[in-house]
Structure 1
Amino acid sequence: MSTSTSPTPSATATRPRSPADWLRRTHGPVNGVVTLHRRQLYILPTRSGAAFAVLLLTMLMTSLNYNISLGFALTFLLIGIVMACMWTAYRNLLDLEVGAGAVAPAFVGDAAVFALQVDNRDDTARIGMEARAAAPKQARARGPRGSATKDVATVPTEAASLTLDGQSNGALALRLPAQRRGRLALPRVTLESRFPFGLFRVWSYADLPLATLVYPAPETPAPPLPLIARADDAEDGALAVAADDGIDQLRRYRTGDPLHRIAWKHSARTGRWMSRTGQATRDPACWLDWHALPDGLDTEARLSRLCAWVLAAGDDLDIGLRLPAVEIAPGHGAAHRRACLEALALWPERPTS
């Protein structure tokens, strides 16, 4: 009686790693720092180096054919210089430490800046180092719940260069184009050097867990803020001017106000009777409501207008934000503005508290 065996879950889970997975695993950070060891550096001749090698081979064959002693001496001297250049180029990146630095958010259409901290713990200077990251090129693909985005290609970005003295550190600022709102993660960073004469290219990789947020592009020009007028503003004539003690706010005198609430000095200066309210008059609350926008605006246009209004509110005006399934209570200040912008960037996700 024969029995058939099926693969166990453990056997299917332990599939062999591909070379790309192996490279990515070995170039990950250890305690937040990627150290460029000997086994993580790669070197190949450049086009100039390959052309120079052909020239040296031609000189060697000519010297052998015509038995030119001076040709032999010059050829082997240049070969020695090439070998020294190869070691110098390799040494220029050896044992460098690369860590994550500051990350700044960006708006759609701008560039997100990722800072990398590079430490040189050797006494030898490191000259002409470059770092670049391939920015993903986005393409729209239709999914079961509407449109989704996926990465279909990469676009090379501008390289950032750095030169370090011995026992020093510096920063490499990588600029990635912010093509769409949401989370933008730093892809694999390639660090390379062609020092000293550009005959060899030495490079390595660094995979750092850095990410930032891309806010919607603010609408330009945007309509004025939809301020909510208060009913008692015109009746009592409240003024957003502090009284003499710097605490109370002032309004016009009403019949029956107690004498100790009258602002005598301010009334004497202005010629109008003013009373202290006993509480600070706050700016009117402003609700930025998704559903109050015109029906002709699509999703990104709505988010762009709301983003422009959040920026226009500044730090003093109380604003609240209403999105489908997301509501942020009125508030003001830099932290509140950042929370609103994060909600706009991540919508339809809920903002994390």
Structure 2
Amino acid sequence: MRRAPAVPDPRGSIRPTTSARTSSRWPRRPRPPVNGVIRLDRRHLYILPTRSGLGFVVLLLAMLTTSLNYNISLGFALTFLLVGIGMSCMWMAYRNLLDLELSAGPVAPAFAGDAAVFVLYARQHDGLARIGIEARCASSDAVDAVSLTLGGTQGNEGTLSIRLPAQQRGRLALPRVTLFSRFPFGMFHVWSYADFPLATIVYPAPERHAPPLPQMSGPGDDDEGAVTTAAEDGIDQLRKYRPGDPLHRIAWKHSARTGRWMSRTGQMPQPLACWIDWHTLPVSMDTEARLSRLCAWLVSAGDSVDIGLRLPGVEIPPGHGAAHRRSCLEALALWPERRAS
């Protein structure tokens, strides 16, 4: 079958053919949350019979035809009874998702090769039990659907943990989520959609059996590599407090014991510093291998060591703590997307 040619537009552009206009006539409308909540109302619930439901309909038609041909009163009664049961199942299936509210939960970062977990909260306000509610992402790479059952208590809330494989570093957005249910008896399939603007950061996969951290240096290192350290008793030298002394220099225990404000005059010990530098790695390593080794060093470094990070276009001064480590890992995950301005 030959495709219809494009029709020239008098204004100079080319209008799409009939088939192209037909395919774009019904775009997928997004379901963004309103005030952080998506409600599955009547306008956004869809229902169709499953294969079991179609088989049940064929059975009812066969029973009705047999009852008409042979004028069987009990056959009519049984057929209409099963029709009523089927209609009740259709309403129960539809009611199982009706007016269910969904909201987004916390999202934790993940490493490449692991699974990123997106948490959704489901809540019902009518006091009716919701049985066998399942959630699945539109992405073909998504893991199997997760199931949830809510009790009959009014205001009952449950969680749906959706796991997505984090195949590569960078940003991982949650695709469209499909909420569906086949309760009861699996004769009807009821579903709806939810589009949450959720995303997480996927860190590079840490290199296995990575070499040890580069040589660490103290804050007082000079050019010749000599390290200056504070005297052991220097931190215990006290004097009277002077206006302007920093708070971390105040000897709180001595001040409380003597009743006078005292300050320390010794040199405060500072943790060792270590720079994790992109340019110190072998030239033969490719980009992802370099990032994996830097990630392994960041993960293995404890809080007793100040870690600094140097990437092409990015430099993070030495620091420690969970927030600093997270900032460095995010820089590795988003490089070269995020560079220092």
2:245 is aligned to: none
TM-aligned CA distance change 1:179 to 1:71, over 3 Å: same
> Secondary structure, in 3 states, of the residue corresponding to 1:52?
helix
Q: Which residue of the partner structure matches residue 303 of structure 1? A: 291
Amino acid at match of 1:217: A
Q: Which residue number corresponds to residue 158 of structure 1?
A: 144
Consecutive unaligned residues in structure 1, runs of 5 or more: 9-14, 136-153, 246-275
What is the one-letter code of the residue matched to 2:70? Y
Q: Does 1:322 align with 2:310?
A: yes
Deviation track 1:313-352 (CA, whole Å, cap 9, x = no partner) reads: 1223101101111111111111100000000000002268
For the pair 1:96 / 2:84, whether they are aligned, the reply is no
Q: Note the residue ranges of structure 2 that are not aligned, 5 or more in a row.
A: 1-8, 14-20, 238-263
- Partner of 1:67 in structure 2? 71
Structure 1 residues 187 and 19: CA distance shift in structure 2, 3 A:
farther
Aligned pairs for 1:4-23 within 5 A: 6=11, 18=24, 21=27, 23=28
**What is the CA–CA distance in structure 2 between the aligned matches of 1:241 and 1:133, rounded to whole Å?**
62
Question: Partners in 2 of 1:217 and 1:337 — Cα distance?
Answer: 15
Distance (Å, rounded) in 2 between the aligned partners of 1:171 and 1:352: 39
Asked if 1:202 is matched to 2:207, the reply is no
**CA shift for structure 1 position 159:** 0.9
Q: CA deviation at 1:134?
A: 2.9
Q: Secondary structure at the match of 1:223?
A: coil
C-alpha distance 237-183 of structure 1, shift in aligned 2 (>3 A): closer
1:48 aligned to 2:36?
no
Alignment length (residue pairs): 295
After TM superposition, give the deviation of residue 194 of structure 1 in Å. 0.5
Partner residue in 1 for 2:319:
331
Preserved contact between residue 41 and residue 203 of structure 1 (Cα < 8 Å): yes
Q: Deviations over 1:171-197 (max 9, x none)?
A: 111101001110111100000011111
Distance across 1 between alignment mates of 2:266 and 2:230: 12
Aligned counterpart, 2:240:
none
Structure 1 segment 114-129 matched on structure 2, within 5 A: 114-129=118-133
Residue 156 to residue 340, structure 1, CA distance change in 2 (3 Å):
closer
Report the equivalent of 1:284.
Answer: 272
> What is the root-mean-square deviation of aligned Cα atoms in Å?
2.8
CA distance in structure 2 between the partners assigned to 1:282 and 1:338 by the alignment:
22
Q: Does 1:24 align with 2:29?
A: yes
The one-letter code sitting in structure 2 at the alignment partner of 1:68 is: I
Shift of 1:36: 0.7
Shift of 1:123: 1.7
**1-structure distance, mates of 2:117, 2:313:** 31
Kept after mapping to 2: 8 A contact 1:320/1:331: yes
Please give the alpha-carbon distance, in whole angstroms, between the structure 1 residues aligned to 2:45 and 2:233: 66
Contact 1:126 1:163 in 2 (8 A): yes
**d(CA) in 2 for partners of 1:158, 1:32:** 25
One-letter amino acid of the structure 2 residue matched with residue 306 of structure 1: L
Q: 1:235 to 1:162 in 2, by over 3 A?
A: closer
Query: Contact 2:315–2:340 at 8 Å: present in 1 too?
Result: no
Once residues 133 and 29 of structure 2 are traced to their aligned partners in structure 1, the CA distance between those partners, rounded to angstroms, is: 21
Amino acid at match of 1:114: F
The one of 81, 85, 102 aligned to 1:81:
85
Q: TM-score, normalised by structure 2?
A: 0.79
Structure 2 residue aligned with 1:293? 281
- 1:98-177 to 2 correspondence within 5 Å? 98-135=102-139, 154-165=140-151, 166-177=154-165
Q: Give CA deviations for 1:22-75 in whole Å, capped at 9, x if unaligned.
A: x424x2211121111101000001111111111111111122222221111111
Partner of 2:6: none
Is the 8 Å Cα contact of residues 240 and 281 (structure 1) preserved in structure 2? Answer: no
Bigger mean CA deviation after superposition, 195-204 or 224-233:
224-233
Q: CA deviation at 1:5?
A: 7.9
SS at match of 1:79: helix
Would you tell me which structure has more strand in proportion to its own residues? 1
Q: Secondary structure at the match of 1:348?
A: coil
2:208 to 214, 220, 225: 220
